Amino acid sequence: MPFLLLLRHGQSIWNFENKFTGDEDVDLTALGEQEARLAGVFLRDFPVDIAYTSILIRATHTLEIILKETGKSIPVIKSSSLNERNYGNLQGLNKTETEHKYGENQVQVWRRSYDIAPPGGESLKDTFNRVVPFYKKEIEPNLQAGKNALIVAHGNSLRALMMYLDGYSPTEISEVNIATGIPRIYEFDTTLHLLNVHYLNS
């Protein structure tokens, strides 16, 4: 029976600096590299057949560290469909300063609502509409063929995919947070009926 592993990249430089990162190409901090190595330790005993990642360096770097830690040599597919959502005019801004400028409620609407985008950026719905079709076309067939897959991506691209996999509603997904560097495993039967889902540190 196949399984799917989801992993949010390790802490990035702008995560540490409390900035809106979006699809800006920002690398990992030293802690982020450590989180990726720890994820690799968790994944050593998992027979992963294929890996997918966004084209952003914090995700690709995380995956490189994991594969080095696990000693795995497997196909890696990179796609911008898995990129973090674009935060538009907010990218590069300090989150706390942005809340002071626009108000905490407005910033929460931009960050957490399903179909309201920040100025010049993408909503979670927009992100869903590129992530899920990619998953259905490129990843599901491999799972159906019995292959085990790993996706290393971003908070919002993974939240969008979790809406599809877990059946979260737009309201429910607004309360979901994904920690950096902690693998989440989905176990399926041969028809891709979801049997179990949990984080590997629990």
Active site residues: 9, 84
Q: What backbone phi and psi angles, to 5 degrees, belong to 39? A: -60, -40
- Three-class secondary structure of residue 151 per DSSP: strand
CA 74 to CA 87: how far, in whole Å? 32
In terms of DSSP bridges, do strands 184-188 and 3-8 run parallel, antiparallel, or are they unpaired? antiparallel
Which secondary structure element, helix H or strand E, spans residue 170, and what is its range?
helix 170-173
Instruction: Note the helical H segments in 12-169.
Output: 13-16, 30-43, 57-70, 95-102, 104-112, 124-134, 140-144, 155-166
Say if residues 27 and 5 touch (Cβ distance below 8 Å): no
Say if residues 2 and 148 touch (Cβ distance below 8 Å): yes
Beta bridge partners of 185: 5, 198
- Smallest CA-to-CA distance from 118 within 10, 16, 20, 17 is with 20
Say if residues 46 and 5 touch (Cβ distance below 8 Å): yes
